[in-house]
Amino acid sequence: MGAEEIKNTIAELLFKVLNHRNFEMRDDLTAPDVEGWDSLHHMQILNEIEIHFGFKFKLKDLNKMKDMGSLVAIIQERMSA
Amino acid sequence: MGEVLEVAIRNATDQDIPFIVETIIQAERSGTQRCALIQLFQCTETELRNYLTLFLKEEMTGCEWSVDSFMIAEYDGNPVGAFGAWIEGQNEWDLSSVMLKSNLMKAHLPITVIQGMLNFQSQIVSVAIPRNKGALQLEYAYVVPHAQGKGIVGKLIEHLVLRAEQSHSEFSAIEVQVFSDNRSAVRAYEKLGFVCTFETEPNEVENLIFPFNRKIKMTKSH
């Protein structure tokens, strides 16, 4: 799956959890840039991503997530594993 | 000050996990019977102990659910006290301690528990105090009842600060967060030179999950 397609899916999941679209899906987008994306909602967003893509993140994946670009890269890695 | 108990202070190891779990639960209770983590995880105390054990078994540094953060006070070969400390934001992942904790919960808690935590969102936010990046954070102090009032917390802090200094890390301040109604803890930190630098608004919700409704941050220059 391509990075753009994954980003579009994540954007929909962000909307589902945060209930707004006030964000731009840049590679350097981080949680503090997005209204409502606190640690509690971070877990909800990751839940939605896991359910949608059908895998479970490992702790080492979670700790590597610095921004949108790294999240997309981790999803691609998991999808190709 | 009463009698001082001559204890040995050492870094915690995985063998100390049961005592650290006890430390976390007792510190969360702050002298009351209310443990927010039990409410938050919608679980029994036994289940909470299992979750905390899973968190602590991970090779994690830089937050309050990390074995590496803790030092243990031992008397006669037995742990009688523990206290955790880390330098905020200084870990191999460059993540805040809040994010590291969140990752531990995400990795180990069932999806339904994480979903249920949203019910407590406003309460969690109400007592959340930002931690300053680069400051030494103290969290989760506990001394077993028969050893309390004997200078063990002060001694643990001394060693935690010394350990942080010896790790070649520079930090300008030491921070600790406590519930403001936990008067004995507040007085103890004041005696050690900490002053209140931040306080949350009191939370007036009916079903408070925390021991008290207002938290403060106490800071000491370094």
Q: Is B1 an interface residue toward A (CB < 8 Å)?
A: no
Q: What's chain A's Rg over C-alpha atoms?
A: 12
Confidence of residue B168 (pLDDT cuts 50, 70, 90): confident
Q: pLDDT for B92-149, tens place per residue?
A: 999 999 999 999 999 999 999 999 999 998 888 888 899 999 999 999 999 999 999 9
Q: What is the mean pLDDT of residues B194-217?
A: 89
Q: pLDDT for B13-55, tens place per residue?
A: 999 999 999 999 999 999 899 999 999 999 999 999 999 999 9
Q: Is B132 an interface residue toward A (CB < 8 Å)?
A: no
Residues of A in contact with B58 (CB under 8 A): 59
User: What is the set of domains in chain A, with CATH numbers?
Assistant: 3-80 (1.10.1200.10)
Structure confidence at residue A25 (pLDDT): 95
Side-chain half-sphere CA neighbours of A10 within 13 A: 27
What number is the ipTM of this complex?
A: 0.91
Q: pLDDT for B53-96, tens place per residue?
A: 999 999 999 999 999 999 999 999 999 999 999 999 999 999 99
For residue B20, give the nearest of B91, B101, B81, B105 by alpha carbon.
B81
Tell the CATH superfamily of the B8-168 domain. Answer: Gcn5-related N-acetyltransferase (GNAT) (3.40.630.30)
Domain definitions of chain B by residue range:
8-168
Could you give the dihedral angle defined by the CA atoms of residues B5, B9, B12 and B17, in that order, rounded to the nearest 10 degrees? -10
CB contact under 8 A, A40 and B106: no
Structure confidence at residue B1 (pLDDT): 54
Tokens of B87: 């330098």
